[in-house]
């Protein structure tokens, strides 16, 4: 049984015993996660974006690669960051992630699944892979945020969850507070593929900040046999 499966039945029990509050505005909400108003304010993101990293482009720019992806192509083929991290979704994600509230992350996962890119439904991957956390990080937070999100995405797409295809071999420090160069150094060689990785995978994480983590993870999956790696993040930090 997947590690996050218990939350599929524990969350409704908790909601019944303790009326849900919106994880962003703390107002009443029908379920854990965001209330209807904050969800409406959260997005999803709109406007022209880079075809590779999904960062916003100027309104007058055509929808192609940003300058960063032109000069340093990422290890993945395409990324989607569904919601803007600088808003209600990011507020709720931080509360769920650092407040050790898996029911909130599960609620945000429902919002993520409601806005999956059409390209993923038309051309689904062979497997969904969560960005691996080090066991010490999971123990500290008491649950695995990317795994919770990836579990729901895999079920929604009707494809297997390859939760052990990627492992984190170094317990790297938190990325928060680091600039882009430091983030890339921090996660360099932090991941390793386990066994033979399916040829076409979707890598799932909670947030893309500079893209350093998903880039390093995607390169490790390619070394393990993946020929196409796409990335899905619940939120993205706009540069």
Give the other-Cβ count within 10 Å of 179's Cβ: 8
What pLDDT is recorded for position 3?
Answer: 47
Mean pLDDT along residues 47-54: 92
Helix (H) or strand (E) holding 86: none
What phi, psi does 235 have (nearest 5°)?
Answer: -140, 160
Q: What is the mean pLDDT of residues 156-184?
A: 78
Integer Cα distance of 79 and 77 in angstroms: 7
88 has a pLDDT exceeding 50: yes
Structural domain of 88: 7-236
Across residues 36-51, what is the average pLDDT?
91
Q: Residue 152: inside a domain, yes or no?
A: yes
Q: Which residue has the tokens 């904050």?
A: 38
Is residue 98 domain-resident?
A: yes
Other CB atoms within 10 Å distance of the CB of residue 50: 21
Is 32 inside any structural domain? yes
- Is the dihedral angle over the CA atoms 79, 85, 87, 89 positive or is it negative? positive
> Is 164 a domain residue?
yes
CATH of the domain at 228: 3.40.50.2020
Instruction: Give the contacts of 132 (CB within 8 A, at least 6 positions apart).
Output: 146, 166, 167, 168, 191, 217
- Given a cut of 80, whether residue 6 has pLDDT beyond it is no
The tokens for 7 are 């939350």
Inside any domain, residue 2: no
- Of the two residues 18 and 85, the one the predictor is more confident about is 85
- A 10 A CB-CB count for 16 gives 9
Beta bridge partners of 192: 167
Which residue in this structure is represented by tokens 């790696």? Answer: 229
| Least trusted range by pLDDT, from 16-20, 93-97, 103-107, 190-194 | 16-20
Say how far residue 81 (Cα) sits from the centre of its chain. 8
State the Cα–Cα distance between residues 88 and 12, nearest whole angstrom.
22
CA dist 182 to 174, 176, 178, 186, 190, Å?
Answer: 11, 10, 6, 6, 14
Integer Rg of the chain from CA: 17
Q: Examine residue 1 and state whether it is found in any structural domain, yes or no.
A: no
Selected residue with higher pLDDT from 201 and 27? 201
For every residue of 88-110, DSSP letters joined together read HHHHHHHHHHHTT-HHHHHHHHH
Residue 23 included in any domain? yes
- Within 10 angstroms of residue 73's Cβ, the number of other Cβ atoms is 13
Note the pLDDT tens digit of each residue in 187-233: 677 899 998 999 999 999 999 999 999 999 999 999 999 999 999 99
The answer to whether residue 141 is domain-embedded is: yes
Q: For the segment 110-162, what is each residue's pLDDT rounded down to a tens digit? A: 999 999 999 999 999 999 999 998 888 888 888 999 999 999 999 999 999 99
Q: Structurally, how many domains does the chain consist of?
A: 1
Tokens of 217: 């993870």
Q: What is the pLDDT of residue 1?
A: 41
DSSP annotation string for 148-202: HHHHHHHHHHT--B-TTSEEE-S-PPP-TT--HHHHHHHHTT-EEE-SPPPSEEE
């Amino acid at each position: 049984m997947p590690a996050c499966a218990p939350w599929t039945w524990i969350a409704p029990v908790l909601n019944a015993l303790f009326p849900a509050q919106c994880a962003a505005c703390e107002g009443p909400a029908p379920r854990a996660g965001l209330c209807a108003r904050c969800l409406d304010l959260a997005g999803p993101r709109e406007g022209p974006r880079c075809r590779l990293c999904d960062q916003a482009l100027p309104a007058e720019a055509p929808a192609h690669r940003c300058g960063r992806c032109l000069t340093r192509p990422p290890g993945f083929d395409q990324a989607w960051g569904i919601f803007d991290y600088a808003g209600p979704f990011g507020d709720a994600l931080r509360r769920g992630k650092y407040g050790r509230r898996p029911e909130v992350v599960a609620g945000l996962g429902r919002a993520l699944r409601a806005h999956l890119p059409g390209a993923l439904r038309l051309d689904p991957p062979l497997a969904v892979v969560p960005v691996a956390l080090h066991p010490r990080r999971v123990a500290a937070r008491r649950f695995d945020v990317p795994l919770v999100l990836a579990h729901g995405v895999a079920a929604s797409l009707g494809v297997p969850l390859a939760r052990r295809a990627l492992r984190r071999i170094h317990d790297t420090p938190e990325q928060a507070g680091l600039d882009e160069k430091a983030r890339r150094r921090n996660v360099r060689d932090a991941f390793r593929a386990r066994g033979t990785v399916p040829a076409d995978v979707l890598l799932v994480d909670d947030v893309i900040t500079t893209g350093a983590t998903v880039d390093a993870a995607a390169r490790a999956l390619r070394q393990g046999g993946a020929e196409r790696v796409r990335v899905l993040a619940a939120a993205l930090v706009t540069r």
